[in-house]
Amino acid sequence: MEPAEREGPAGASAGTSTEPGGTSSGGAEGAGRGVAGLSLPARIVVAVAVAGVAVAAAVHLGMVFLHVAPKNAVSKEHSETIDAYVYPEFEQNWKLFAPNPLQVNVAMQARARIAKPDGSTETTGWFDLSAMDGEGIRHNIAPSHTQQNELRRAWELFRNYHDDEGRPVGLRGDLSQTYIKRIAVDRLGGELDGGTVEHLQVRSADTPVAPPAWSEEKKDTKTEYRLYPWWPVGSEDVRGGGQQ
């Protein structure tokens, strides 16, 4: 018979020591090794994941920087790639180094041509959609994102992708036109004044901001209107109207 293994106080074997709280020194040593305690395949996976995150972060920061930075050789050469990455999820509504705050109050207005049950048509007056949103925001400590940004950002996109004659420029022009039309129809409703909305027309009302009272600057604050053509309204432009 071989001699029994000698035990120390409290029954602990001679080969291990017990730390306070019941943790063995061997386990503490293994836990403290971190990544070094992993197997080789596991360490490779961790290294690849960290490298992938670092590369993705560098690409994202580089793309956003080129988007907001002043125009340069790199951003001009790769403008399509940068725009494809940034829009629409990472769009920045500001410019780096040279912000240019708006000095004009821009309001978006709409009117409708409706068909009555007796076969006659009627053109409504102008509805100030921007003023409607303003009423929802004023004195509201927590206005909705829709009230604050939907119409304003949609109108900025629309203006950026339409020429001086009101014609859409490229695919974004067509998309922004459809977007604005559907926002307006949604605000006014598909049924209006006892008839069905068949056509819609929008316009912008641009009013320069008056200079402060202490300034000697003189500025004409007369509102200028920019009118766009009538657009047909179909069932797909009405909320739920395109569902089968």
pLDDT in tens, 149-205: 889 889 988 988 888 888 888 888 899 999 999 999 999 988 888 889 999 999 999
Backbone torsions φ then ψ of 164, nearest 5 degrees: -65, -20
Cβ–Cβ under 8 Å, residues 186 and 239: yes
Looking from the CA of 123 toward its CB, the CA atoms found within 13 Å total: 7
Question: C-alpha angle with apex 150: 145 to 151, nearest 5 degrees?
Answer: 135
Cβ–Cβ under 8 Å, residues 137 and 143: yes
Strands (E), 50-194: 104-115, 121-123, 127-128, 191-192
Beta bridge partners of 226: 204
Cβ–Cβ under 8 Å, residues 81 and 67: no
This prediction's pTM: 0.58
Q: Which of 7-11, 173-177, 233-237 shows the lowest mean pLDDT across its residues?
A: 7-11
Between 76 and 122, residue with greater pLDDT: 122
**CA of 195: how far to CAs of 48, 116, 185, 192, in Å?**
63, 4, 13, 5
How buried is residue 200: exposed, middle or buried, by Cβ count under 10 Å (0-12/13-18/19+)?
Answer: buried
